[in-house]
Structures are given as C-alpha cells and as structure tokens.
Amino acid sequence: MAPRLQLEKAAWRWVETVKPEEIRPEHIELAYRVNLPACKRGTCRRNCKGNPNCLVGIGEQAWLGDIDENAFHNIDDPNSERRDKNTFVGLTNLGATCYVNTFLQVWFHNLELRRSLYQCHNSRAEEHDAESGTTDNLFTFCCIRFKTRTYRQRSLFSLGFTLKDAQEFSKLFLSLLEDTLSKQKNPHLQNVIQRQFCGQFSYVTVCNECGRSSALPSRFYELELNIQGNKNLTECVTEFLKEEKLDGENRYFCESCQTKQCATRRIRLHSIPPTLNLQLMRFVFDRQTGHKKKLNTFISFPEQLDMGPFLEGKCVYELSAVLIHRGISAYSGHYIAHVKDARTGDWYKFNDEEIEKMEGKKLQLGTEEDIAETVKSQTRKPKCSKGYHCSRNAYMLVYKVQEEENTDPSWTNVEVPAFLQRLVDQDNHKFEEWCNEMADMRKQSVDKGKAKHEEVKELYELLPAKDGEPYEFIPLEWLKKWLEDSTATKEIDNSLFLCCHGKLHPDRVADSKRVSLQAAQLLYERYGGGPRMDGSSLCRECVGQRCRVLRLKNQLNEDYKEVTNLVKRTLSGEGYWVGKASLRSWRQLALEQLEEDEHETKHKFGSELSGGATGDEMKTFNEDIVCCHGALSILETERKLVSSEVWTKLREYFPKAPEFTQIQESCQQCLTLEQEEKDNEAVSKMMALDQKNQLLNLFNEKNRPTLNKWPEDTDVLYIVPLFFVDEWRKFIRRPTKSSPVSNVGNTLLLCPHGGFMFTYDSLINGDGQHVALLWPSEWEVISRLFIVDQAISIHCFRETSLSDATTQYTTQPDICWECRESFLFQQQRDLREYTQATIYIRKVIEDQRMMKEAAPELNASSSEAEEDKEEVPKVDGETDLDFSQSQDGAKRLKLSDDGTAASAPATNMTKLGGIRRSTRHRKLRGEKALIVSANQTLKELKIQIMHAFSVAPFDQNLSIDGKSLTDDSATLGSLGVIPESIICLKADEPIADYAAMDDVYQVRMPEEGFKGTGLLGH
C-alpha cells in the first residue's frame, strides 16, 4: 500500500476539477477512502494508517494460530526460588549492605559461635516474632540452614539504616556479642567470643642503655596487616612483628635510667585464637587528595598457614574464608565471601542472594580478580605455587586452627532451639502459601487468555467490510488495545472523532478502521460505547469546506504573481490603501488563513496552527494601518495605494480585512494627539534651556562646594539628594525623552521624626556620595523652580579667641541620634546573619605577610558610576546609612515600622561601620573564594579549606585581622567573619598519623552507636 501522505493526496485529487457546489456522494466516499482495497496478510509489514480498510498489523499476529500458555501471564514460576537440598540460603541486599551479608555468612559457618548463639537464653527473643530486632539475627542464622526459599530478607532495624564501614561493623558487632554473652548464666557461653576470636600479644620495649625490658600486654580480635610493599601473607605478618627503633624525639623514658633513652620496640605474640581474623589494610588515606584510596596490590596467601615461627611451638591454621571487595575505589564496589563448609569441606561463594558451590572442594576466586582491570598501573598476576592463592581484592582472611579429624557426627551438628525452629517452619509455611497463590494467579491468567484467544479468532474473521454491505468505523487505537491487552478492555469512545457537525471528521478517518456491521454489533454488545459511526456519518459540509480551501491553495501561487505585477503598474482610477507590511507578507498570511479555515471544523482535539503569527506579529491582513481608534493610521509612509483590481484579488483571501478607500481621511484623534505631543516637546525644550542657564555650574559640575574645605565666602550650604540632581541632568540633556523634574524630595534624607540622618564627619567620610551640596544662590533658584518639601542646610560657625580658632557645624533640621544609632545597630547585626556569602582564603607561606587592601579616596561630590567605586571599612565610631532603590526610582532610606532603620537588601552594597564594601575583589596569588553562611561552624569551614588547598584541618592555622580562629565549634558569625572577609591560612608541616584523618569527616553530632545502631564500643 502507498504511504499515508500519498493516500491522503489521492483522496482529494478530485478537487482540482470539482467546485464545492458540484460535490456528489462518490466524491465524499473518495475523501473518506471508503473504496480503497483492503490489505492482505503478508503484504504489509505494519498497518497502513492511511487506509481504513487495512486490518493487518494491529496486533492480530499474537492471537492467530497456536499460543503457548506462558504467553498469557508474566508470573515467574515460584518454585524457581525453592532451595535445593543440602545447600545454603542467601541474604537480600537492603541497599549498600552486601558486606553485612558476607560477615553473617562467615560467622554462621563458625560452628562453635553458631552453637553458642543457639544456646543463648533470651526470654524477649522467645516471646517476639521473626520481625523483631531481638530475634532477627538468630532467625537469620537459622534460615541460612533450614529455610525453604533460596534467600532470606532481613529486617532493617536489626542492623541499622546506613551501614558502610565493613571493618568497623565487624569489630563493633563482635563487641556487642561479647557484651551480650558475658551476661549469660551459663559459664561456657560467657567467654565464647574470647575463646574463638581473642588472642594476646605484648608491646616489648628494650632500653639500649641498660637493657631493661618492659612489656605492655594487650588483647586482639584481629590482626591488621599492612600490604603496601609486601607480596605474601608471611611478609605482612613479619612486618607487623618487626622491631622498631625509638630515637630522637621518639626516645623512650626508661624507669631504670630515669631519663629518655634510645630503645627498640616490637610486638610479641603470646597466644592466637582458634579463629584467626587477618585484616588486609587495603583502604588507606591519601594525604594528597584528602580521601581514602584502595590498594590493588596482589597478596599471596596459603591454604595452610604455619604460625609456629612467630610463636613458641607448632601452630598450623587452615584457610576457612576469604572476604573480597570488588571494585577499584574505596567508596564504591561490592563485597562477596568465599567460605568453607566445616561439615563437608566444600567451598561456597556467597554473593548476597546468590550461592555458588565450588567444584572439587577447592577455593576458586574466579573473575573477582578481573574487576580492577581499569586501574591505570596494572601489574601482572604472579604465579602461585600449589596450596597458595593470589588476590588483589581480598581484604580479610579467616583461618581456623588445624585439628585432628573428628569422626563424631555430633561435632558438626548444631541443635536449633525449638522457638527458632518454629519460626522457620512458619516462614516456610508462608512461602508454600505464596507459591500456591502464585500458581492460582497463573492459572486464572491462562484461563482468561484462552477465552480471549477464542474471542479474537471468532471476531477477527468478521471484521473486514465487504463492498456494498453496511459498515461502521471503529477507532484504530481501541482495536489495538483490544488485541494487545489480556485485561478488561474499555468501552469504545468515538467522541474525539466527531467534527463540529456531529459526524466523522475527514482528517480522523486515518485513525479509524472500517469494519462490517456484524462485527461492530458484536463489539458494541460486549464492550459498549459510542456514538456509533456508520455510512451516514460522512460529513458533506466538512468535505465542501476542504474542497474550497484546497482550490484556493492551488490558486495562491498564480494570484501572487498576478498581484505582484499589478502593484508595479501606475495607478489609474479609484484606489485602496494597503499596509506595506501586509503587502509584503500577504501570501504567507493567506496560507495561514487557509490553514485556519481548513481546521476550523475540527473538534477541540485539533492542534494549533503551526507557523501562525505569534506574540506581537501581525495576525490580520491590513491591520498594520489601523490606529488604536480603529480608523486609518496617520503614518502615510507605512501604507501604499493599490488598484481596485489588486484589492479584489486580496479580498478573496481576506474577506474580513479592514477596507480604506483612497478618499478616506486619516484618524482625526491621532492627528490631534500628534500636534499636542509636538507642542509639549517644544515646551520641554524651552524649560530645559531656561533651567540649564540658571543652574549652569550645577549642570556642568563646575565650582562645586566641598565639606573638606569649607568655602570662605559663605556660612551655609544647602543639601539635596544626589538622585534629584542626576534625574534633573537627564532631563536637561534629553528633554524630549525624559520627564521633567517637578519637586525636590528631601524627606528621603530624614527619619520618620523629621530629623537629619547625617553628621558632618559621616558626610566627609562617605555619606557625601548620596547628597549634593548647593550654593545659597543655587538654592534660591531651585526653591523658585521646584517644589521643595523640606529645606536641609549645614551651617558653619567660626569662633576666634586669643588662644585658638574653633569651627562648629550644625544642620537644620537637627540630627536624630536615636534613629541613627538604631539603624547602625541593626546594620551591624545583619552582617552576622548572612547566607551564601563569599569570603577569601589567602594562604601564607612561612613568614610572608598578608597584603592589605588599598583604599581609594572618597569624594563627596563624585559622579562616577557606583560599580566603579571601591571603599574600605572606616575606623571605629564612624557610621553610615544605607539606601535602596524604590519603585518610583527614588533612593529611600529603609526604615522599620517603629522608626528604626532597617538593613539594606542583599542587592545593595554591604557596609561595615557605615561604608559599603567593594563589590569587586582583586584576588591575589594563592587565594581562593569560598561560599559560606554565618551559622556555619569553623570546623565545617576547615573541611572546605581542606578540599580547596589539600591541607588537613589539624594542619590549618587560621586568622582574621591578626586574630587567631581556634574554636572549631563556634560559628563564623560569632567569630567576626563577614562577607568579603579575608582569612589568612598558614599550614603546618604534615604529620604521619593517617588514622587521625578519619575524624575530619565527622562533622555532624556524634551518634549514640555505630551509624545510629545499638553497636557500642568499649
């Protein structure tokens, strides 16, 4: 079948020879494509949307022919989750808890630990169900061996919510078990953790001078072995026990010599537990980056470990578990465990829910060693001799002491408490019920699918409509859903397919299918819906309208060429006014108008016109010469006179366009307004020239008085807002573009009580940038030309005595000290309540001193742009006011309701001591900007500095204005750190204590237990 566009063109090809009034029924059927041939199966790869008779590719393929029962449902076989006999149960990953699962599997396979936990008496555990935190871990141990399902989903509140540190979890969980078991009445259970995991060693220090030896005994539950620079496990243990020299500043205080002496120190093993946990320190702190990193170093370890050389006597251990971290980063990856079954000697790989048994009772690390292949520096895997294994991802090895083979089967059997067995049986019973429920659901889906299969086979054969027989239209999307869904099908909805005349719209015939009356009758009986659309639903009105539009579209290009030629001819006779913009774009406007006419019969689902005018663009032809009063525009340059022949052609496409004949007069209202505007401009020019001549020095900024050097020939100067002067100058420069200034708003400089807000000293030191000083003669002119709400003046009184001469300055009105002090207090407080402000950290190397910012002089009468000004804080005691821009353009002092001044908004310049700080900061070498808040602590700031300068917090010495910052818990606001402050950073030499960096990240309040759990250290 031809493509959809070709079918649509073919359906309307007849309009070229048929006028709208000549349309007959056969033309309507052509428009609705009723007589198109139906497609046969196998000829169409997909459904022909342009052909309402094509019923191929709508989803029938899945129902014709034999269908497998599994196609009627998406429910997996629940028996696939049933555990095989003599295998173990996996544990669900609750989100970043894979390492918890590995430790639980390792501890479960420790028969002595498992047996002791089962014997532990806990009345609360026996009373609660399997979901309580008290019982969950014991229940998990029991499920690993006896659960029917292949995996166990643990409860969250038994282990906490966010667990990430594997080694810390191991230590604290064993500590919790030790504390819990020590409270048991059975003496055999009280020290089971010590018997299984606890060993003893001593730190032995020998004085080089007198030879005195001192030992400090200690216990251990695991040995932390450094792997950097070592190749095998023996080298790691040897380095752990090697002798260390104490000299220089690390000399040892000898009690015999009673002074510090050089000495040697080593670790001496006394006893090793039956279960030996060896932690390989793969995660170390990198001082250069400030983060932990993983060492992907190959380490070789034996299946049988002889600890005899490190102890007195023979002591051989067998490998029982290997814990693996897959990944190249210390902050991501996955944990799995290889564990040896103590009963059978088989090796298993535990990967959360997945359990894999190794072949041949041998440990096979498999592909875990290929995970780190993306590391830049790759080392070839060394060859391992028989009885050895090599790994770059192993981070913990578990060895058990080698014992004589025990033939007693009771040695490997661990009796389960009755209450735990009962919980397991209940859980297994729930699993069986779930399996039966899933099986019933599968059966129901299959039965429903089979019934649908029979229905489709029956109705699909009846769908095609034969020539000459009654038919109806059914939506294509409904047919697809009816064939695709095995669930309940919605009723048939044809409301979106109707035109404004209540019949089938010609454009929607491509989205519907013509079916036989018999098939339609069965579908409506079973599923309901409507309104039904049969052969009488073909709309003659819509077809006629489309015919007219298409004929005009075809004629448009010819008419465009004709109009273009006619416009070039000399006008003779009566003419019509046409907008030049409309004349340039009339073809595009006509095309949009035709498309609008083509879509006007569409239902509300119809799309908006694409390519139509938007925003302020012209939407109607000739509207560009219509004034706001609806008459002919007075702008003759924007219109053109065309002949009546041209206008007749244009009227065919724009019958509603405004019409203006050649004799039509322009809008009288617009002419009147134009004359008034010209008169007003002339008055403004005269006014500006007169004011400029009377205040020429003020306009040119010449011969201006200053407060730094009071003029000799006057005792009084007048003050007006600088904003008034700036607005007045704008009017003088461009009187026709700017509004004239009518009044002087001096109340902007007064408080609500009518008092002046500036002192003589503050005007000299910075407040002068907000005001302008006037000579008395200038004030007399301003008082005459403008409306002044309040006169403000500053007076100079000179007193001369025999000893010296004194000068005093007063203002009229007087200064309101109450409002001024309240504003300054509020301003200082706001400086310590900022958020998301910028400060600068300047790193000082050795004795290099911090450079002070240079402060440019302030000019009270400066007219430069504010963004080019820079100012520095003034000395103590000097104050300032702040201004904000009001809606009417005036600068107003922001005051609170009670009359006290409020702080300026964040968009204005922040000031200290009354002077705004510079909005620009010239960064120096070795200086970086940080974003901080006033409520942020100094410790949090040090964390930011660590990431910016790679300097550890305990190596940072911070100071501001010569004052050291030492209180890590204090906020920046309380320490006097304000926006744009410069903090000096001096870094100490780094120390070798890598472990101390772990405290850096503990910014939050200390938790009650490990990661919010009940695991507490001792």
The residues near 505 (Cβ < 8 Å, ≥ 6 apart) are 497, 498, 499, 539, 542, 601, 602, 603
CA distances from 859 to 824, 828, 915 (A): 22, 24, 13
Phi, psi for 131 (deg, rounded to 5): -90, -5
- CA–CA distance, 243 with 267 (Å, rounded to integer): 8
Residue with tokens 């050389």: 309
- Cis upstream peptide for 813 (omega within 30°): yes
- Torsion angles phi and psi, residue 140, rounded to 5: -60, -45
CA distance 207 to 783: 98
Helix (H) or strand (E) holding 946: helix 938-949
Identify the three-state secondary structure at position 787: strand
What is d(CA 125, CA 1014) in angstroms, rounded to the nearest whole number? 16
Q: In sequence order, what DSSP letters do the residues of 807-835 get, joined into one string?
A: EEEEEESPB-HHHHHHHHHHHHHHTTS-S
| Residue 670: half-sphere exposure toward Cβ, Cα within 13 Å | 15
Query: CB-based contacts of 300: which residues, under 8 Å, 6+ apart?
Result: 231, 232, 233, 382, 384, 388, 389, 390
Do β-strands 316-326 and 394-401 pair in parallel, antiparallel, or remain unpaired? antiparallel
- Residue at token pair 């997945």: 354
Residues 6+ apart with CB under 8 A from 243: 264, 265, 266
Residue 314: CB atoms within 10 A of its CB come to: 9
Letter string b/e over residues 964-998, b meaning 16 or more CB atoms within 10 A of that residue's CB:
ebeeeeebbbebebbbbbbbbbbbeeeeeeeeebe
Spatial separation of the C-alpha atoms in residues 918 and 898, rounded to whole Å = 31
Strands 299-302 and 304-306: unpaired
* Upper half-sphere CA count for residue 28 (Cβ side, 13 Å): 19
Sequence-ordered alpha helix ranges (H) in 485-539: 517-527
The DSSP bridge partners found for residue 932 are: 837
The one-letter amino acid at 67: I
Catalytic one among 27, 73, 128, 334?
Answer: 334
| Chain position carrying tokens 């006893």 | 271
- Report the amino acid identity of residue 146: F
Taking alpha carbons only, the member of 118, 122, 196, 137 closest to residue 413 is 118
Report the alpha-carbon distance of residue 1012 to residue 159 in Å, rounded: 9
Query: Are 787 and 743 within 8 A, CB to CB?
Result: yes
Q: Residue 315 catalytic?
A: no
What is the rounded CA–CA span in Å between residue 147 and residue 428? 6
**Residue 45: which region, alpha, beta or left (left: phi > 0; alpha: psi -120 to 50)?**
alpha
Residue 278 buriedness (CB in 10 A; 0-12 / 13-18 / 19+): buried
Q: Transcribe 670-686 into DSSP letters.
A: HHHHHHHHHHHHHHHHH
Residue 482: both structure tokens together: 């009816």
Catalytic residue among 48, 54, 98, 816: 98
Looking at the DSSP assignment, which residues form a beta bridge with residue 189?
none
Whole-number Å distance between alpha carbons of 605 and 500: 11
Active site residue 921: no
Count the neighbouring beta carbons within 10 Å of the beta carbon of residue 404: 5
Residue 199 CB partners (closer than 8 Å, separation 6+): 219, 220, 221, 269, 270, 271, 272, 273, 276
Q: Which residues pair with 494 in a beta bridge?
A: none
Which residues are part of the catalytic machinery? Answer: 98, 334
